[in-house]
Structures are given as structure tokens and as C-alpha cells.
Structure 1
Amino acid sequence: MSRFQALRWLSRFVPSRITVTWRERVRAGLGALAGIAVTGFVAHRLPGASSAPFLIAPMGASAVLLFGVPSSPLAQPWSIIGGNLVSATVGVAAATWIADPVTAAAVAVGVAICAMFTLRCAHPPSGAVALTAVLGGPAVHALGYRFVLAPVALQSFLLLGSALVWHAVSGHRYPHAARAPKAASAKNASSADGAPTQAGFSRADLEAVLRDRDELLDIDTDDLETILRDAEIRAYARGFGELTCADVMSGDVVSITPATTVEQARALLRRHDVKALPVVDAQRHVKGIVTRADLADQGAHRHPLRAALHALLPTLRPHAGGVKVSLLMTTQVRTVEAATPVVELVRIFAGRGHHHVPVIDRERRLAGIVTQADLISGLYQRARPPQRASA
């Protein structure tokens, strides 16, 4: 082996850079402190606690996962409870049936790993639980299968309960649920149907690659997909520099008020050949939006109230000037500020099924509107190479 190869091999031992902030590190440390303190305090004072270890060492390893790496699939509630209980049971059985402690320990850990993978509750500290059942000494051996209930099950539930409370109080997601991909489309938000993502791969492609690797990665597949897709969007945004919503929006937006009637709104849609009308108040603050689908019979199926209103429109039209758009408009409107980078529009249009996004100024007044056509045109103009001046 050459010196270069030796240095390259040794470089693999250098730890990767940790990207979490110091706030997150302190939060994890304080959470583990509180979790272990609560677990030990309660377990030590329960009736009959003197006959069992009030705090077993594997709980410290579990605390690292539950408080330090709560997004890991190995740190989820079923992982700690199922993994610890299965491993404790296997460990006690190995200690009971196999006289040689070394053989019993090896069998306990090996079988526990296979059982955890089978039951989908892999939890690394559970391997130490199996070893504790075999090598814990006379006090542990005297408990027999009671070791599974106390201390293992008891302390596992106490530590898990502490983690649930701590993460809820500190505003951290636990149990972990994958974040919705920012660039997921309405049709392939989870890519579960195999549709290609923005980056050109589908969920089926990702799962096939993971199967080919044939090893457990300490990251949820949904999280991995989200990270890859968001990284692709970030790289895509970098190519368009400082392009903002103000650069691509239509400034001469046609708007209406909540008092506008359905017939008036329809007339405006036809006259200006647009597909949506923002609804604003006297200060031009956006209160809603109506589209052609909202005002057409085929849009009534979206909500029972709309279906009833559409059925009554012929009857109500002659009275009180007709039905107001305030009864049919969508009030949960996604808006963007004029200075918002265009990449945010890409995420909105691609990920949430929007077709028209009102643009507001610093006073939150309507300044324009962006359609999918506006966005595509703006991106095309920015991406198109400059034309050479004719001689």
C-alpha cells in the first residue's frame, strides 16, 4: 500500500461535519438530562424497585437517539419499545438455556437483531439490553423473565414518555413525520404513485436504488426523497439569480370586491380573458380569489354549500342583484410578496396545485398576480441566451 493510499484510507476515519446548530445540540443535551433524571427518579421509587436495577445502561444509549437524533427511524416509539422488549426476552431466554455466558451473549445479540429487523423495530441500544440480560449478574438473573417488564419495559416507557413531553414543549417534531417535499406536485406530492419528481426520478426509482444497496440507511425514505428534491430546487434557483415575483407578475391585475355579484364576475372574466379574479377590500387587501371553475356549475362539487348555491342561482338571480362572490370565493389564498424569489413560486405552483398567485406589496396590498404562464415566460426570458446585435 502506497503512502497516498494509506492516507486516503486513514481519511475515512475523520468524522463528517455536523450541520445542526448549537441550539439544537443544547436542546438535545438538556432533553437527555431531563429524560434520564425522570426515568431514574420514578423507577427508583416504585414499589419493588429494590429488586431490580433502577436504571440500566442501555437507557443512556436510547437517550442519545430519542433526544439527539429524533428523526432517525431507529429512534421512533415502536423502535425503542419493540426493540427493547424483544431483545430483553431473547436475552433472558439465551441466559436461561445456554450455560456458557460468551455463547449466550453472542446468540442473544444475533437473534435479537434478526427479530428486530423482522418486527421493524431496529434500535441499536436494544443490543445492549440483550447483553445485559445475559451478563447483568445475579440480580438480573434472579429476575428471570420479570426483567422484561421491570426494568426494561418500565424504563423504556418512562424514557419515551419523557421524550414525547420534551419534544412537544421544545417545539420539535416527535414522533417523526417526514416533511412535505417543498417541490412536490399535486399529482406526485409523495411520489407514491411512481410519478417522476422535479429531479427526474420517481419514488419507485429511489426505492429500487435503496434495495440494490441492500443496507439499512439511518434516514427515512420520505426524508431522503424530500432532501433530494429540495436540493434540486435550490440548484435550479441558483441558475436564475435574483429574479423576483415582481419581475414576472402581471401588474395590471383585474380585481373585484366581496360585494361583486357572480354575473359581474363572470362578465369580467370574459371581457379580460382571465381565469381568476382576486377579491380585495377597500384597502386592496386580498380577502379571497374566484376562478372560472368557482363560478361554473362544474366547480360546485368542491363544497356542499357551493353545490346548493349553484342550484339556487337561477332562483336568486332576479333578487337583490344576484349572489355575491363572497359566498363562492376561496378565502384561504396563498399570496407572495413582490420581492419573493421566483424559486418560491416554483415550489408553490409545483407543490400545491396553484394556478394563480396574488402578489402583495409591503403594505400587504394587491400589487399584481402571477400565473403559470407568467412564471414560464419569465424563466424563459432569463434562461434565453442574449441575442447578438446585428452588424
Structure 2
Amino acid sequence: MRAFLSRFLPELTPISKRERLRSAAGALAGILATGLVCRAALGSEALPVLIAPMGASAVLLFAVPASPLAQPWSILGGNIVAALVGVTAGAWIADPFVAASCAIGVAIALMMALRCLHPPSGAVALTAVLGGPAIRELGYGFVLWPVAANSLLLLTTALLFNNLTGRTYPHLRPAGPRTADPPSGARVGFRASDLDAALEDFDQLLDVDRSDLEQILRRVQMRVYGRLSSPITCAAIMSRDVIAVAPDAPLAEALRLLRRHRIKALPVTDEGARVLGIVTQTDLLDKAAWDRSGPRLGLGRRLRLTAERGRAPHGCAADIMSAVEPVGPDTPIAVLVPRMSEAGLHHLPVVDADGRLVGIVSQTDLIPALLSEADAPEAPICARASARTALA
């Protein structure tokens, strides 16, 4: 019986306790901020302050912010469209249950057509029809208050909370290359057109972004290749004489180190040699402004960093470094390929069990190792295929 009942439990993506706490705290902050601001702006109880569908919106915005159903256009467009449909149905159809049914059906059709599907919007349409005399008296004013006001305030809180706590929101599609070539990770294995055809055959709406689904499948593919290939590790190919830079080092110092040692990347480490990030030539070119005296922080980046950190930047390495997830010496090189490809990195720091920098692996280090895997006569066919795939 237990086995039978367990089949009805959904298989949710495994997440950490920290992520669960962050979701709960975000929903608390979102609803509280929305309610308090609306009550302060209203100044009376003549109009509804907070409508129930915002609770469902909070679940999406703070618990599954990567969902296509939780993006800014989804909540704003979906709630406003549903409110318009609900008010119209309530005004033109006498029977409330017929009006509610029509409102839900038409709202879903319009939201799907406008690409702003948001499940809580169904409750918004229902509220517009069955919300009682106070809601009906508002007429189309219900669309602006409380629906649009609640949605905008909740969305603003989600933007601030998610980004301040380390999430990226809204969930944007990864930037692709500015050439006709597909990304390196997409040149082997299944094609994007294969995924599109499979999704078309499945013919059901999935609560996952298509680009996220493609990345997940490619990671699975590379893990399979890595498991089947020979286990050459980072320790065998990494450079051990690593030049690092302190987070408070001026940009000019980072540039001097790159030029002096003829390297293209500098791990940023604290006093304990723990990796905080990495500064590359691309970071200096894209994130710094240049004049005759060398690199400096431009006004736009200064303002952005001030807003993110709550303090003024100092024009140092920490202000332009890229986030990076170091690997351990025992990490198989097949694991590095998807990480470097997806993040657009050419270098990955290697750290020991205590998180201290012990080496760095570059794409140049990977090439001979992958070629040796591919050309080893004793390697199994699947291992040689894996190495060629990773090299491509």
C-alpha cells in the first residue's frame, strides 16, 4: 500500500534547506511588503487592500522563480488580462457560475496566446466574478486596484529579494554567441531542433524554461560521457605556479600582472588563498572603462555595483571579477568541459579540501589530455567518443 501511495507523490527537484528557507522568507517579505504599502497608500478600508491570488503568485515568484510562469510578464500580463476578462464576464453574463466558467476559459486562452500564462491569474478572474459586492462595485477599477497595484508591488519585492539573496531574477535566456555558430556545447550530441521536435511530440506545457531543459539534458549527456571515459583528473594537467590577485588590488595592478606573466586570467583570493572569483582579459575589456591612464570603473558600473552592494565600489579587482565555481584536484576533466562551456570560461581554479587555491586549468591544458583519451588504442570506443565530444 505504501508503494502504491508513493506513486501519487510528485518528484520535486531536490533542493537544499537553505533554498527552502529562502523561498519561505521571500514569500513572507513579499506579501508583507505588498500588504503594508497598499494599506498605507489606501488610507482607508473602502477598497480591498490585498487579494487572495497574490498568495499563489508569491509561491511562484519566491519558490520557483526560474519557472516561465513566474516571470515579470507572466504575473503582470496574466493578472491584468484575467482581471479584464473577469470583470467583463461578470458584467455581461447574469449567471455567476456561467460567468466564472467563461472568465476562466477565456483568460487561459488569452494568456497562452499572449505568452503570459500565470496560474494564480485564474483565481484573479474568479475573484472578479465571485468576489462579492465590493469587487463588483469597482468595475474595471478592479484591474488597476487592487490587481495591478498588488502585482506590481509583489513583483518589485521579488526583484529585490531574489537578486539580493543570490538568485538571478528575472530568469533570462542565456546569451548566445554573436556569430552564426551555435555554442560549443551544442555542436555535438542532440541538436536544438531535436529537442523542439520532442517537445512538439509531447504536446503538453512544461513548467520549465526550454533553455533550462536543454542545459539539463546536455549536462546529463556530459555526465554520461564522463562516467564512460578514462578518469584523467585536474591534478594531472593543472598549472601549479598560479598568479593570483587580491580582491582590493587596483585594476591597473591586475592588468600589470596579466601583462608581466603573459597570462589571461587571475584568480581573486583572500588572505587565506580561498578563491573569491576570477579576473580575465574579457572582464577588463567589458567591465572597465579605458583612458590614457589605463582601466577604471565607468559610471554605469559604479551605479550598478552601488545598488547591488549598498556601498560605493573602489575600482578594484573585486568590482570586475566573474563568479566561478572552483573544482578539486580529483575532478575528472570530462566534468570541466560543460562547466567551462556553459559559463563561457577559459580557466577554472583548482582548490584543495580546505578551499585553498592549488592550481588552475585552462582550455589549453585540456586539449592534449582530451586528445590522448581520444587516440589511446586501449581506450574503449565509448571513451574515445566521449573525449572527441568534449574536445569538440
TM-score using structure 1 length = 0.66
State the match for 2:100 in structure 1: 105
Q: Does 1:144 align with 2:139?
A: yes
Q: Does 1:114 align with 2:109?
A: yes
State the match for 1:203 in structure 2: 192
Of the three residues 170, 173, 181, the one matched with 1:187 is 181
State the match for 1:157 in structure 2: 152
| Residues 78/242 of structure 1: CA separation in 2 closer, same or farther (3 Å cut) | same
Of the three residues 33, 48, 61, the one matched with 1:66 is 61
Q: What's the CA shift for 1:155?
A: 0.4
How many pairs align?
A: 301
- What does the per-residue CA deviation read over 1:115-152, in whole Å, with 9 as the maximum and x for residues that have no partner? 10011100000000000000000000000000000000
Unaligned runs of 5+ in 1: 252-278, 290-302, 304-331, 387-391
Of the three residues 235, 244, 257, the one matched with 2:233 is 244
State the match for 1:346 in structure 2: 337
| Residues 32/186 of structure 1: CA separation in 2 closer, same or farther (3 Å cut) | same
Q: What's the CA shift for 1:100?
A: 0.4
Give the 3-state SS of the residue equivalent to 2:263 in structure 1: strand
Q: What's the CA shift for 1:163?
A: 0.4
State the match for 1:87 in structure 2: 82
Alpha-carbon RMSD across the aligned residues, in angstroms, is 3.9
State the match for 1:233 in structure 2: 222
- CA distance in 2 between counterparts of 1:88 and 1:370 reads 58
- CA distance in 2 between counterparts of 1:134 and 1:13 reads 33
The answer to whether the 8 Å contact 1:250/1:369 transfers is no
- CA distance in 1 between counterparts of 2:57 and 2:350 reads 48
Give the 3-state SS of the residue equivalent to 1:85 in structure 2: helix
Of the three residues 6, 15, 26, the one matched with 2:21 is 26
- CA distance in 2 between counterparts of 1:148 and 1:236 reads 53
- What does the per-residue CA deviation read over 1:23-44, in whole Å, with 9 as the maximum and x for residues that have no partner? 0011000000010001011111
Q: What's the CA shift for 1:82?
A: 0.2
TM-score using structure 2 length = 0.66
State the match for 1:372 in structure 2: 367
Unaligned runs of 5+ in 2: 241-257, 266-284, 286-321, 352-356, 382-392
- CA distance in 2 between counterparts of 1:379 and 1:187 reads 24
Q: What's the CA shift for 1:215?
A: 1.4
Q: What's the CA shift for 1:250?
A: 10
- What does the per-residue CA deviation read over 1:305-356, in whole Å, with 9 as the maximum and x for residues that have no partner? xxxxxxxxxxxxxxxxxxxxxxxxxxx9x999865521144337866899x9
The answer to whether the 8 Å contact 1:357/1:369 transfers is no
> Matched residues, percent identical?
48
Q: What's the CA shift for 1:13?
A: 1.3
State the match for 1:55 in structure 2: 50
- CA distance in 2 between counterparts of 1:338 and 1:358 reads 11
The answer to whether the 8 Å contact 1:338/1:367 transfers is no
The answer to whether the 8 Å contact 1:180/1:226 transfers is no
Instruction: Give the counterpart letter for 1:203 in structure 2.
Output: A
The answer to whether the 8 Å contact 2:348/2:360 transfers is no
- What does the per-residue CA deviation read over 1:53-95, in whole Å, with 9 as the maximum and x for residues that have no partner? 1110000000000000000000000000000000000000000
Q: What's the CA shift for 1:159?
A: 0.3
- CA distance in 2 between counterparts of 1:165 and 1:97 reads 40
Give the 3-state SS of the residue equivalent to 1:378 in structure 2: helix
The answer to whether the 8 Å contact 2:128/2:135 transfers is yes
| Residues 171/72 of structure 1: CA separation in 2 closer, same or farther (3 Å cut) | same
